[in-house]
Amino acid sequence: MASWLLQILVISSLHLISLSSQQETRFVYENFRDQDNLYLDDSAKDLGPLRLTGGATYETGRAFYKKPIQFSSSGPLSFSTHFVCALVPRTGIEGGHGLTFLLSSSMDFPNARETRYLGAFNESTSGFPVLAVELDTIRNQEFGDIDNNHVGIDVNSPISVGIASASYYSDLKGKNESINLLSGKPIQVWVDYEGTVFNVSISPLQVQKPSRPLLSHPINLSEIFPNISQLFVGFSAATGNAVSAHYILWWSFSTNRESLPRLDISRLLDISELLEVLILQLHIRVYRRGLLSWLCVWVLWCWLFLQEFISTGGRSIQKCLKHGRRSLMHIGSLTSPCTKQQRVSARMSS
Ligand SMILES: *[C@@H]1O[C@H](CO)[C@@H](O)[C@H](O)[C@H]1NC(C)=O
Ligand SMILES: *[C@@H]1O[C@H](CO)[C@@H](O)[C@H](O)[C@H]1NC(C)=O
Ligand SMILES: *[C@@H]1O[C@H](CO)[C@@H](O)[C@H](O)[C@H]1NC(C)=O
Ligand SMILES: *[C@@H]1O[C@H](CO)[C@@H](O)[C@H](O)[C@H]1NC(C)=O
Ligand SMILES: *[C@@H]1O[C@H](CO)[C@@H](O)[C@H](O)[C@H]1NC(C)=O
């Protein structure tokens, strides 16, 4: 009887394992704090929002979903992803350089560079395959950038194969509306792939997914990634002399495009509040640095004063004060319209 039960248990658990191994990849992150299956690299931190760079110069940050993507075995290769990000420039300096959504055969980017390489590329195009969707806020003419506010599709190189100024098609107005990527406000991004079509759309948080994509480009994922069973998805961001903090607030992904978890904006409230605190801290840090240098100057001055006081037993300070009083009197006598004698006689006659 007991062995019977055991047999059933073993068979059913084996069945479960085989089911889960066939499962396609589908996930949603509404908060990034202490989450399973996240691989964080360089400056990336899970502060509630996922912070890729924190507002320092020459930073890179990356984060990946730790498990390789499992595509459906039936039908053409496909996936959809939707995320909400915020690019926040630091007070008083130019914002940059941008963030990317990454597809890569490796999670380790030891040689990826900051600045215009966005933490995803370097000067060399050899190495493992990388596909990036960039939200780029600096214009690099040597990479063929059209402006300092664009979206691009990059294959193994920061020179985009598809590029467009950041905008969305407004169904309401029937025209394109531009978006300022560096507004610091949450921006929605969609990446949809099926067969050989790779689409990218963006929109402000309050606006639904546009009916027309911003970019639609022919891409064959199996050509770019010969071993499609080893494909990771994630994000990268970088700064240089231009500095922004780069955040991801929400992220969903599915290899079955119909079952992509939907964004419920009301669930974004908590994370948006956390973001506001982080942005405030970012700005305070700048002011605090200013205050700190003032404080340093004052401390140094007091220390020098004290040194002088101790070394001369206070005499030089007295001399200084006396000298100060004398020079004040000197100024007084210069500005006074009459001499001491005139003043005394004036007082006597009154
Ligand atoms: C960067 O360059 C090296 C070769 O110098 C290469 O092996 C590596 O894969 C490149 N790409 C990235 C993203 O690190
Ligand atoms: C990409 O956009 C085109 C043009 O709107 C559309 O016909 C196609 O279905 C889209 N493909 C995907 C995978 O979203
Ligand atoms: C709107 O943007 C799309 C995508 O960049 C572009 O193909 C189209 O020509 C634009 N339409 C207008 C009217 O500018
Ligand atoms: C995509 O590339 C793979 C590998 O090169 C090839 O076998 C396949 O036919 C291509 N798919 C399409 C639709 O061109
Ligand atoms: C493809 O990737 C899988 C998963 O990482 C690995 O087990 C397999 O050996 C790879 N195949 C080739 C030909 O590299």
Question: Is the CB of 307 within 6 Å of ligand 4?
Answer: no
Report which of 89, 92, 143, 95 is spatially closest to residue 116, judged by C-alpha positions. Answer: 143
Separation of 174 CA from ligand 4 center, angstroms?
Answer: 36
pLDDT digits (tens, 9 = 90+) for 257-315: 999 999 999 889 888 999 999 999 888 876 666 677 778 778 888 888 788 777 776 66
- Are 258 and 188 within one domain? yes
pLDDT at 180 over 80: yes
Residue 272 maps to a domain: no
Separation of 197 CA from ligand 4 center, angstroms?
Answer: 12
Domain CATH code at residue 40? 2.60.120.200
- Are 160 and 26 within one domain? yes
- Are 25 and 86 within one domain? yes
Question: Is the CB of 196 within 6 Å of ligand 2?
Answer: no
Question: Is the CB of 229 within 6 Å of ligand 4?
Answer: no
DSSP secondary structure code for residue 312 in this structure: T
Instruction: Centre a 10 Å sphere on the Cβ of residue 50 and count the other Cβ atoms it contains.
Output: 29
Report which of 109, 111, 123, 28 is spatially closest to residue 63, judged by C-alpha positions. Answer: 109
Of the listed ranges 37-46, 170-179, 249-258, 275-284, the one predicted with least confidence: 275-284
Question: Is the CB of 30 within 6 Å of ligand 2?
Answer: no
Q: Are 184 and 89 in contact (CB under 8 A)?
A: yes
From 196, 228, 263, the end of a domain falls on: 263
Whose Cα sits closest to atom 3 in ligand 3?
Answer: 214
9 against 165, higher pLDDT: 165
Ligand 5, pocket-test mutation among 64, 107, 229, 231, most atoms within 8 A of CB: 229
Range of the domain at 166: 18-263
**CB within 8 A of 209, min separation 6: which ones?**
82, 188, 190, 201, 203
Q: What is the pLDDT of residue 11?
A: 44
15: left (phi over 0), alpha (psi -120 to 50) or beta: alpha
Question: Which ligand ends up closest to the CA of 209?
Answer: 2
> What's the pTM?
0.80
Whose Cα sits closest to atom 10 in ligand 4?
Answer: 220
